[in-house]
């Protein structure tokens, strides 16, 4: 067990250092932080203005339903962050194994004493950690603004929503890990990952006109439907299980494929 842990830590540290030393990673972080900050200002301003107009209508005797402003802001903003992730995550996952194939080191990994499972786990943990660092600035200014509302907003709801975002990212990155192992082209890996997660994102819309068990199955596989539940701060066991299933599926397929390379060279 100690050897396996040491192998995992070695892969994890190597991959994580590569992200923090890559100009592309800093470019991705800069774009993500700029767009996330811009959209937060726009969403905050739009909803605050809408509530102000509602208050003015209330003073005129027009009765309107009460609005939980922090909850609406959080749900809308996490939806934006989830959509931004569709464009960011393929660039983070594209080189996980494709880069190894370009440099000819995938075969070395496949024939090394390091287990394929530890390699896959280390790479996935590193890229998820890097994405987690991208979500910290948005989380900070969400906490700084939403927790000052009256009555106070629950910080647990904010953390639950961000936990859903991390689970979503981990599921997509695990599938991207497998797709990256299939090709030597970073671009092809990014495009295929984007295409797959776009399909999984819109499965709910595809399933809506379909009746019966087939529609229910497609709806259950939708990333958007399950992420929306967690973005509202609702702890949904089925949503957590689905994301974990995607993560395990991506890891399983990756390990099986790289192990296939190992057996080819025995």
The DSSP code sequence of 175-191 is: HHHHHHHT-S-HHHHHH
pLDDT score at 56:
66
Say how far apart CA 115 and CA 146 lie, in whole Å.
Answer: 45
The tokens describing 110, both together, are 């496949």
Domain that holds residue 95: 2-264
Q: Which residues contact 140 (CB under 8 A, 6 or more apart)?
A: none
What is the residue-averaged pLDDT of the chain?
83
Indicate the number of domains in the chain: 1
Say how far apart CA 95 and CA 29 lie, in whole Å.
Answer: 16
Taking each helix axis as running N to C, give the angle between helix 116-146 and helix 23-59, from 0 to 180 degrees, rounded to the nearest 10.
30
Q: Rounded to 5, what percent of the chain is helix, strand, coil?
A: 85, 0, 15
Is pLDDT of 210 > 70?
yes
Residues 45-55 pLDDT 10s:
888 787 777 66
Say how far apart CA 34 and CA 46 lie, in whole Å.
Answer: 18
* Lowest-confidence region among 37-46, 55-64, 146-155, 208-217: 55-64
Say how far apart CA 199 and CA 219 lie, in whole Å.
Answer: 12
pLDDT score at 126:
94
Radius of gyration of the chain (CA): 21
Say how far apart CA 32 and CA 72 lie, in whole Å.
Answer: 22
Report the run of H or E that residue 164 belongs to, with start and end: helix 155-181
Residues 171-204 pLDDT 10s:
999 999 999 988 888 889 999 999 988 888 888 7
Report the run of H or E that residue 259 belongs to, with start and end: helix 237-264
Contact at 8 Å (CB) between 71 and 225? no
């Amino acid at each position: 067990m100690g050897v396996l842990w040491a192998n995992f830590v070695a892969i994890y540290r190597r991959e994580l250092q590569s992200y923090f030393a890559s100009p592309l990673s800093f470019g991705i972080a800069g774009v993500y932080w700029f767009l996330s900050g811009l959209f937060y200002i726009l969403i905050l301003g739009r909803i605050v203005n809408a509530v102000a107009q509602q208050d003015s209508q209330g003073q005129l005797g027009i009765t309107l339903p009460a609005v939980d402003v922090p909850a609406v802001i959080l749900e809308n903003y996490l939806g934006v962050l989830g959509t931004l992730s569709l464009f960011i995550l393929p660039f983070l996952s594209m080189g996980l194994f494709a880069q190894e194939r370009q440099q000819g080191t995938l075969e070395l990994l496949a024939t090394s004493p390091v287990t394929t499972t530890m390699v896959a786990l280390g790479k996935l943990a590193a890229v998820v950690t890097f994405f987690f660092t991208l979500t910290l600035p948005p989380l900070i200014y969400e906490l700084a603004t939403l927790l000052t509302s009256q009555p106070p907003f629950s910080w647990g709801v904010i953390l639950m929503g961000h936990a859903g975002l991390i689970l979503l990212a981990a599921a997509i990155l695990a599938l991207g890990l497998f797709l990256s192992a299939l090709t030597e082209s970073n671009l092809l890996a990014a495009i295929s990952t984007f295409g797959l997660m776009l399909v999984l994102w819109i499965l709910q819309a595809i399933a809506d006109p379909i009746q019966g068990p087939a529609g229910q199955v497609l709806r259950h596989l939708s990333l958007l439907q399950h992420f929306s539940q967690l973005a509202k701060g609702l702890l949904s066991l089925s949503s957590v299980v689905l994301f974990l299933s995607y993560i395990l599926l991506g890891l399983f397929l990756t390990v099986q494929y790289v192990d296939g390379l190992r057996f080819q060279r025995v």
